[in-house]
Structure 1
Amino acid sequence: FKKEMNGFISIEYDDSGYVKDDDAKNWDADELMDNLRKGTKEANKDRIAKGIEPIEIIGWIEKPTYDATNHRLIWSAAIQDIGTNEPLNEQGVNYNTYLLGREGYFSLNLVTDRGSVDHEIPLAKRILSSVKFNAGQRYADFNESTDKIAEYGLAALIGGIAAKKVGLLAMLGIALLKFWKVTAIGVVAVGALARKLLSRKKD
């Protein structure tokens, strides 16, 4: 890894159950953006109640794409606090990637600014490509008769569910980007945690 990056990366696992990906066949980028904006607007109510600045979605940086063979979803959007007119290069960016599994999914989220995103994406992609589910826990191992199915489909990872995370990560990202650089040591630590989770045997 390089010595420092402009932004930070978070990795989380959600045991939502098996997320059906059928809706990816009929995606409309404009409709997905509309859903993301609506979800963000709704999530802003909670942010305002907590004294946090509301945000708005400016538009796609990278429209949603889904790799049905490897069950990986990628999308990214530009964001800013409502009422601000940040220079283009200083607008916030959430770059979001997901790996679907049998019982849930891993999400890897890069928060940076528009002027740095092209330089930071390769690192995010390297980390995502190193994350894999163990045999028996892969998406293809799903058993319809015994396994839990998530209450939402793949599009929800771009709309309502994603909107809450976009706001939280945006808030953290703005603070981090203004005051310090995040070293790759933190990224390596997160990667080690992900590997531990992936290799952990079920009770």
Structure 2
Amino acid sequence: MKLLVIPFLALLSLNLFAQEAPAAEQPKISAEEFLQSLKPQSGNITLPNQVATINLKEGFQYLSPESTEKLLVDAWGNPPGNETLGMIIPTSVSPLAAEGWGVVITYDEDGYVSDEDADSIDYADLLSDMKEESVAVNEERKKQGYGSMLLVGWAEPPHYDQNTHKYYWAKEFSTDNAGENSLNYNIRILGRKGVLVLNAVAGMNQISNIKMQMPELLAVTEFTQGNRYQDFNADTDHVAEYGLAALVAGGVAAKMGFFAKLAALFLAFKKFIIIGAVALFGLIGKLFSRKSNN
């Protein structure tokens, strides 16, 4: 079960209401009208902040930040205020369908992330730490009246390409009362001044499909000239205070202001991140401690 679409399944009649209007006056639109209102784009897309381009091939479409907000809030039931650079959706399935999915795009401008730790990360050890912290997170969730959500393991172990500076992995989560586990597929592309973030959320039954399609998106997403990793100027550019391991664990959000970056890190699991902030800071502390010891 894909957590983002659960709130929408109850709206399969597709009566989408304006929140401000009284019940008797709420306008109704069809699914087709709603999808048309998203105004999907195709071809070569330059992201709104001009730092990167995505040359979409047949099979994918791009939604603007405004349309992304509309889909996430009005259709998928997420809270408003998601600061994104847009979203990529497959054309093979409607985003309104239970099996629909999308890739949310954000950018964390926290400086140049060194990849010097690429060959030294023990991902089994990192996973063990993250699992331990997810247990602590769930204790906080229970206190707040929320159900359990536990990190099961890697759905796809982390891979980093030192030539392209592209990084990807996938995590599997189990949740209370869910018919299936949830998948969060993560892509990070390192740039001169920050990290481009692409997160896809779906049910585990879609892992094979997403594994096939995400590498295609990875290949056609590039920083623009002047914003590429190799454009880094050590004399003038800011360097982030963390490395690759912290990206996998969620270090970007921790360093940049946890609550300001919720949508960027883990859009599907907002409550998990908010409630688990203290526990995850503990994990980030371990990562930074290791870095200083090394």
Q: Normalising by structure 1, what TM-score? A: 0.71
Name the residue aligned to 1:136: 226
The 2-side partners of 1:10 and 1:43 are apart by 24
Alignment of 1:53-64 (within 5 A): 53-64=147-158
Q: CA deviation at 1:43?
A: 5.1
Structure 2 unaligned spans of 5+: 1-58, 60-90, 94-98, 254-261, 272-294
Name the residue aligned to 1:97: 187
Superimposed CA distance per residue, residues 4-52 of structure 1 (whole angstroms, 9 cap, x where no aligned partner): 1532221111101000111111121211212333454565577567654
- Which of 66, 74, 78 in structure 1 is aligned with 2:160? 66
Alignment of 1:11-26 (within 5 A): 11-26=105-120
Structure 1 unaligned spans of 5+: 173-203
**Aligned CA distance change for structure 1 residues 136 and 47 (closer, same or farther; 3 Å):** farther
Which stretch shifts more, 151-160 or 3-12?
A: 3-12
Superimposed CA distance per residue, residues 176-195 of structure 1 (whole angstroms, 9 cap, x where no aligned partner): xxxxxxxxxxxxxxxxxxxx
Aligned partners of 1:94 and 1:112 also within 8 Å:
yes
Aligned residue identity for 2:268: L
Identity over aligned pairs, percent: 33
The higher relative CO (CA closer than 8 Å, separation ≥ 6) is in 1
Superimposed CA distance per residue, residues 92-150 of structure 1 (whole angstroms, 9 cap, x where no aligned partner): 01111110000001111111111111112333222222211111211011111110011
The 2-side partners of 1:53 and 1:171 are apart by 13
Aligned partners of 1:108 and 1:124 also within 8 Å:
no
RMSD of aligned Cα (Å): 2.7
Name the residue aligned to 1:3: 92
Q: Normalising by structure 2, what TM-score? A: 0.51
Name the residue aligned to 2:259: none
Name the residue aligned to 2:213: 123
Aligned partners of 1:6 and 1:120 also within 8 Å:
no
Q: CA deviation at 1:162?
A: 7.2
**Aligned CA distance change for structure 1 residues 44 and 152 (closer, same or farther; 3 Å):** farther
Aligned residue identity for 1:128: L
Aligned residue identity for 2:189: L
The 2-side partners of 1:42 and 1:104 are apart by 30
The 1-side partners of 2:140 and 2:231 are apart by 38
Name the residue aligned to 1:79: 173
Q: CA deviation at 1:152?
A: 1.1
The 2-side partners of 1:98 and 1:23 are apart by 15
Aligned partners of 2:154 and 2:170 also within 8 Å:
yes
Aligned partners of 1:13 and 1:107 also within 8 Å:
yes
Number of residue pairs matched by the alignment:
167
The 2-side partners of 1:104 and 1:49 are apart by 36
Name the residue aligned to 1:175: none
Aligned partners of 2:242 and 2:251 also within 8 Å:
no
